[in-house]
Structure 1
């Protein structure tokens, strides 16, 4: 049985994400020849070829694709282990809760702090991009999330649902309506992945509406700026829409859009009475 070197595994993931040895080496702050030798050493240890390199560029082999799938959660788990060990060594008695924008989590947090005066309950604001990553890498013990998520390796507890609304600019033809149907929005440019909203995809009969490129956003604020200047529409949970109220955007109820969910997630391999207790408080 081969003992995997996590450092080599990190190097492999960097190359796989960049598909370029030079850029990966820059990210890792090592020389490219050193990186190449480390990848070859990893291939020798595993007995498989991970990359195919030719004049056209770098590509993952089937073995490389499988290793990439398995490597990310393994590295995140190792990072979580390190964080918890350091925390324990320093005698830090903390419990950390992640939460998405628009969610109010003060009630279970206050209840948890009241039950355990010796415990420091900390909060970490998350985004669509890292709402489960912070659980896997140990930055938080438990997190409030909005599906869809990759739930592999996580325990999930549904909490509640809430309406989802459409956000439009104030000069949009539908602005001012109390409610609309998805068919009314079929020709609009959706600034989100259509796969997240299958009801809208079904209503958008014009193929051009479904095939328009989706911008990459790193925050809700960026998405709202695009809505405000009339570049498209966005569907958001009602709590998020009200949290980000602004004069150049309005939100409208959508009669046939399914509600959004709010769940709790935590690492499925962890056994912690505090996690179970907090989950019960949040669900209660």
Structure 2
């Protein structure tokens, strides 16, 4: 075993929790209060972690505490490692449940017809494990999966964060512009991206990037479907979304196909290197649904 492997194997989750508290607050006293321990054992634990790794994690002087470059790296990695441990514990407890379920998380209002068809088909399968549906807001599925709070998610490529997740394609489709029903664009049979990007009286809604920041632009910053729906109804914004996600649109909205918008693929996603017989059953149902029920690009069940 290499020296590096021995060092990594020797790190305790307790040490990572202690280090992360100090790195978050950059103050040993406040970190000790958060952890519910005295400051001396916290300081000893951090020094022991520095000895294990052979690096200095904090610069300490009379002005305060600051992370070193190595400390910045460990701060990022420790968060991921602690999240992975917590997720593993949650998944393990769920696996031991005498009445197992699958928790599926999806963005509220997204892919409604597809989700309904998937749940119906799965429910007809022999020995199907019940699926509990959790609804979230824009871009939250990845974090929920990584924390172990859900087993699987409906997500969209290329707009969602799929790093570290395994996926199975379900439906590839075009996009539509959701506009106020009274706006001239609503009378169009189709539009292009150039038609909707620079509408002076109707700026496009700005979605958060994967890092949580927003692109520049005059449109409103949005995070929830409810916020979007009301802003469109009020004539304050428009948005471009997958065709099947328009199930939530209000009577005050109109959906117009966008001919040159990038196609979007709805996927079933789960943390890489995880799985269970229950999840395998849902994936088999999803594969059969894609093969037998949905026409690629239609966004609706075949009839």
With the shorter chain as reference, the TM-score category is 0.7 to 0.9
Distance in 2 separating the partners of 1:166 and 1:56: 54
Decide which of 266, 270, 276 is 2:274's aligned counterpart: 270
Partner-residue secondary structure (3-state), 2:226: helix
* CA distance in structure 1 between the partners assigned to 2:70 and 2:110 by the alignment: 41
TM-score (norm 1): 0.73
How far did 1:58 drift?
7.9
- The answer for the alignment partner of 1:66 in structure 2 is 73
Number of the residue aligned with 1:283: 287
**Corresponding position of 2:102:** 95
1:84 is aligned to 91
**Which residue of structure 2 lines up, in the alignment, with residue 228 of structure 1?**
233
Equivalent residue number for residue 55 of structure 2: 48
Say whether 1:149 aligns with 2:163.
no
Deviation at 1:38, TM superposition (A): 8.2
Question: Shift of residue 282 of structure 1?
Answer: 0.6
| The structure with more radius of gyration | 2
How far 1:144 sits from its partner (Å)? 1.5
Deviates more, 1:60-69 or 1:48-57: 48-57
State the secondary structure of the residue aligned to 2:162. Answer: coil
Counterpart CA distance in 2 for 1:229 and 1:31 is 52
Q: Normalising to structure 2: TM-score of the pair?
A: 0.70
Aligned-pair CA distance for 1:262:
0.3
Against the structure 1 CA distance between its residues 224 and 107, is the aligned structure 2 distance closer, same or farther, given a 3 Å change threshold? closer
* Whole-angstrom CA distance in 1 between matches of 2:262 and 2:21: 38
Between the aligned partners of 2:177 and 2:235, the Cα distance in structure 1 is: 13
Give distance in 1, aligned partners of 2:65 and 2:179: 42
| CA positional deviation for 1:254 | 1.2
In structure 2, the residue corresponding to 1:115 is in which secondary structure? coil
Deviations 1:100-142 (A, max 9, x none): 3332323333443443547333222233322122222222222
Q: Count how many residue pairs are aligned between Structure 1 and Structure 2.
A: 268
Instruction: Confirm or deny: 8 A CA contact 2:175 2:243 kept in the other structure.
Output: yes
Q: Report what 2:244 is aligned to.
A: 239
Q: Does the 8 A contact of 1:153 with 1:269 survive in 2?
A: no
Please, what is the CA RMSD of the aligned residues? 3.8
Q: What are structure 2's unaligned runs of at least 5 residues?
A: 1-6, 289-303
1:21, distance to aligned residue in structure 2 (A): 5.3
Residues 1:34 and 1:220: Cα distance change in structure 2 (over 3 Å): farther
1:115 aligns with 2:122: no
Question: CA distance change for structure 1 residues 90 and 184 in 2, over 3 Å: closer, same or farther?
Answer: closer
Does residue 106 in structure 1 map to residue 110 in structure 2? no
Spell out the pairing of 1:184-203 with structure 2 (5 A cutoff).
184-188=195-199, 189-193=203-207
Gaps of 5+ in 1: 197-209
Contact 2:103 2:132 survives alignment (8 Å): yes
Distance change >3 Å, CA 164–CA 13, structure 1 → 2: farther
Alignment-derived partner of residue 297 in structure 2: none
How far did residue 43 of structure 1 move?
A: 4.6
Match of 1:250 in 2: 254
Please say if residues 219 and 237 of structure 2, whose CA atoms lie closer than 8 Å, have aligned partners that are also in contact.
no
- Residue matched to 2:188: 177
Deviation at 1:145, TM superposition (A): 0.9
**Residues 225 and 13 (structure 1), Cα distance of their counterparts in 2 relative to 1, 3 Å cut:** farther
Q: Compare 226-235 and 253-262 and name the one that shifted more.
A: 226-235
